[in-house]
Amino acid sequence: MHIAQLKNLSTWVDVSDGSEFPVYHLPYGLAKMPDGSVAAVSRIGDLVINLHALAAMGFLPVDFDVNVFLKESLNDFIALPKALHLKVRKELMELLMGENPALKNADSAVKSRIFYPITSTQMLMPVQVGDYTDFYSSKEHATNVGIMFRGAENALMPNWLHMPIAYHGRSSSIVVSGTEIHRPWGQIVPSAGGNPIFSPSSQLDFELEVAFITRRGKPLGQPIKADEAEDFIFGLVLFNDWSARDIQKWEYQPLGPFLGKNFGSTISPWIVTLEALEPFRCHGPKAEKPLLPYLQTSGPKTFDIQLEVDLTTESGVSTTICRSNFKYLYWNISQQLAHHTVNGCNVNAGDMMASGTISGPEPGSFGSMLELAWKGTKPLVLADGSSRTFILDGDQVTIRGFCEKDGLKIGFGEASSKILPPIDY
């Protein structure tokens, strides 16, 4: 369908004009319902759709056990074949479109078991993340960090233009939007040098990222090729890779970031499917060096996703401190997954792979405080008149994302988290 048709898709459900969750969107999430039960859900406008109720009452014909919609995560649903996911999306969209009477004309008692105001539910962590990988795929970010720590001459490492650099991160501490995080303690070397001290981090940072969630992969030893990679990707979420720069700086040689990262990461609760993102497909930057064949892709392999970061101080005043875009990333998700598995590494349904900080070319598009305030040398002035070089206790950082083209708009919602003071140690 042409995008003009998609934006005009009508629905019998009451959706406000300009909603980022039109009938075309239909993301997936996991929600605690008003009765305390947990169910897989989708969303239209400001209504949550209970997929288990929908399927169990026969409104959504499915070729699998409807109990996959009643688990503590979406992993079992995500592990189903892609063809079944496509069918669920198609059936669900048709059910809600136009004046389709199948559900529209059902008793209000029936509909009240299917539709819930979003304010009456609590969005939960949608997947149990088996493995989490963090890429480093923004050339602007890698270059900025390189200039700050190694100088402009050696900003980009020699390997960077040859492969999507990545490292493994911690799955257990990935939390859903709304979860508060304590400022971490750790070993920090004072700026004057000398032995490390034990202290709460004073260089707490966010990182604006987007993560993809994988379908069931191949057995150990069998790579996923770049041209089939998208078939193994279920959808995308917003991702804040909280970082303690002072802890990270002291620990990361020679094996990479560890405690400077694994105290918490925040994701948005709605998984935006690749199918919904299709109209927003676009080209990424051109490769600056010849790529080995296993990393070569053709056609538009990334997506135009507008991203912004708000910082809200304890006084409640918000400032948008960054506007960036997913399409700035040098390496696309097909290249990332092909690289990750080229050695035979296996992936499972529900694994999460984040992009790395998404910085754009302009200073206002840098995706971390480290870059925005340029290592503390250019404090950011906020709307309430206060200034920041890093994140203070009580600050709330909110990442938002959406796609918009020719009048069709779909939202990612938000990944938002507040920093609490360090615990008493």
Measured from the CB atom, is 24 or 160 closer to its own copies?
160
Say which residues have a Cβ less than 8 Å from residue 33's Cβ, sequence separation at least 6.
39, 50, 116, 121
Q: Confirm or deny that 261 is annotated as ligand binding.
A: yes
Tell me how far, at minimum, the Cβ of 340 lies from its own copies, in Å.
Answer: 8
Given 85, 141, 339, 340, the catalytic residue: 141
Tell me how far, at minimum, the Cβ of 342 lies from its own copies, in Å.
Answer: 6
Tell me how far, at minimum, the Cβ of 129 lies from its own copies, in Å.
Answer: 9
Q: Confirm or deny that 252 is annotated as ligand binding.
A: yes
Q: How many CB atoms lie within 10 A of CB 10?
A: 12
DSSP conformation letters of 387-403? EESSPPTT-EEEEEEEE
Q: Confirm or deny that 136 is annotated as ligand binding.
A: yes
Measured from the CB atom, is 183 or 400 closer to its own copies?
183
Q: Are strands 318-325 and 122-124 parallel, antiparallel or unpaired?
A: unpaired
Element at 210 (helix H, strand E):
strand 208-214
Is 141 catalytic? The answer is yes
Measured from the CB atom, is 223 or 235 closer to its own copies?
223
Tell me how far, at minimum, the Cβ of 97 lies from its own copies, in Å.
Answer: 39
The C-alpha angle with vertex 24 and arms to 92 and 229, in degrees rounded to 5, equals 85
Q: Which residues bind its own copies (CB under 8 A)?
A: 130-131, 136, 157, 159, 162-163, 165-173, 175, 179, 181-182, 184-187, 195-198, 220-223, 244, 247, 250-259, 262-264, 290, 292-294, 339-340, 342-348, 351, 423, 425
CB 131 within 8 A of CB 348: yes
Q: Confirm or deny that 209 is annotated as ligand binding.
A: yes
Measured from the CB atom, is 97 or 287 closer to its own copies?
287
Tell me how far, at minimum, the Cβ of 276 lies from its own copies, in Å.
Answer: 27
Q: Confirm or deny that 150 is annotated as ligand binding.
A: yes
Among 406, 382, 385, 411, smallest CA distance to 322 is for 382
Q: Which two tokens stand for residue 300?
A: 């538009």
Measured from the CB atom, is 272 or 338 closer to its own copies?
338
C-alpha separations of 397 from 15, 178, 379 in Å: 28, 10, 17
DSSP conformation letters of 159-194? TTTTS--EEEE-STTEEETT--EEPPEEEE--TT-S
For the chain, how are helix, strand and coil distributed in percent, rounded to 5?
A: 25, 30, 45
- Pick out the residues of the known binding site for Ca(2+): 134, 207, 209, 241
- Pick out the residues of the known binding site for substrate: 136, 150, 248, 252, 357
Catalytic residues: 141
